[in-house]
Structure 1
Amino acid sequence: MQLVYVFDAYCGWSHGFSGTLREAASRHPELPVVVVSGGLFTGPRRVPIREFGYVQGANAKIAEQTGAEFSDAYDRLIADGSFVMDSEAAARGVAALRQLAPDRAAELATAVQRAFYVDGLSLSEPATYRKLAEEAGLDADAVVAAFEAPETRAAAEADFHLAAELGVTGFPTLLAVDGDRVIPLAYGHATADEVDTRLAAVSTR
């Protein structure tokens, strides 16, 4: 069995789920965690953030329910409304980091979200992934090269297709996958204890 975490780096609820993901992964070191980027802001949804008028109100609700941090640096980044959340670029960044440290995928996915929501960095910029790689003790040049490589663009597209194949329609979604069985453990928001309870039920089936 493995855990499959389907998220989007530009999804506030995914950011709010970061603590639960880290705790669930630490409680179950025997279960590999596969991280899949879902592609929330692609195609016609890749527009200036001002077109999503609900963002600030949604973030306040996420912070209240999950304790997630939305910093002043993030507020400054999006303040004039022109910032474009490009999930394809973010998925390439996640894939580049994942490529160098696949066993740390969950940790690195939450670090990517922190770079945006706490450090106020664009997830479309190679410099963001250089910083993340250096902080994680990875080869920063290799991560930046991977971010810009055509193969990583293909990996991002493969992630989007896999999310669709798994039937995921919203983010974040945490699944237990055991052979052909795909069992939902969390959608949107859940505590690590709730994930544990659902995992226990899966293992007794």
Structure 2
Amino acid sequence: MQLVYVFDAYCGWSHEFSRTLREVASRHPELPVVVVSGGLFTGPRRMPIREFGHVPGANAKIAEQTGAEFGDAYERLIADGSFVMDSEAAARGVAALRQFAPDRAAELAMDLQQAFYVDGLSLSEPATYRKLAERAGLDADAVTAAFEAPETREAARADFRLGAELGVTGFPTLLAVDGDRVTPLAYGHATADAIDARLAAVRTS
């Protein structure tokens, strides 16, 4: 069995879920975590953040309800409404980081969201991945080159297809996958205890 985490780096609820995912992974080191990027802001939805007027209010609600951190640098980044959330670029970044440390994919995905929502770094900029690679002790030149490579663009699209094939319609979604059996463990907000209970049910059914 493995856990499949389908998220979007530009999804505030995915950012909030990072703490839960970290706790679940620490409780279950025997379960590999596969990270799959979603395509929340692609195609016609790839536009300035001002076009999504609900975002500031939604993030404030997430912070109020869960304690998730949205940093001052993030607030400055989106203040004038011109910032474009590009989920394909973010998915390329996930794929580039994942390529060099596949067993740390969940950790790196969480670092990626921290870079945006706390540090206010664009997930479309190569410099962001250089900084993340350096922090993670990875080859920064190789990660940055991979972010720009055509193969990584295809890897991002493959993630979008896989999420759809798994039946994921929103982010974040955590699945238990055992062969052909796919069981939802969490959709949106969930506690580690609730996920543990669902995992136990999966294992005994």
* Structure 2 partner of 1:157: 157
Q: Taking every aligned residue pair, what percent have the same amino acid on both sides? A: 88
* Structure 2 partner of 1:125: 125
Measured against aligned partners, the alpha-carbon deviations of 1:134-153 in whole angstroms (never above 9, x if no partner) come to: 00011100100110000000
Question: C-alpha root-mean-square deviation of aligned residues, in Å?
Answer: 0.5
* Structure 2 partner of 1:115: 115
Letter in 1 for 2:126: P
Which sections of structure 1, spanning at least 5 residues, go unmatched?
Answer: none
Letter in 2 for 1:92: R
State the SS of the aligned residue for 1:39.
coil
Deviation of the 1:158 alpha carbon: 0.1
* Structure 1 partner of 2:58: 58
Please say if residues 17 and 66 of structure 1, whose CA atoms lie closer than 8 Å, have aligned partners that are also in contact: no
* Structure 1 partner of 2:147: 147
TM-score by length of 2: 0.99
Alignment of 1:60-139 (within 5 A): 60-139=60-139
State the SS of the aligned residue for 1:30.
coil
State the SS of the aligned residue for 1:132.
helix
| 4+ residue segments displaced more than 2 Å | none
Please say if residues 20 and 190 of structure 1, whose CA atoms lie closer than 8 Å, have aligned partners that are also in contact: yes
Which sections of structure 2, spanning at least 5 residues, go unmatched?
Answer: none
TM-score by length of 1: 0.99
* Structure 2 partner of 1:46: 46
1:108 & 1:74 partners in 2: Cα distance?
A: 19
Q: How many residues align?
A: 205
2:194 & 2:64 partners in 1: Cα distance?
A: 18
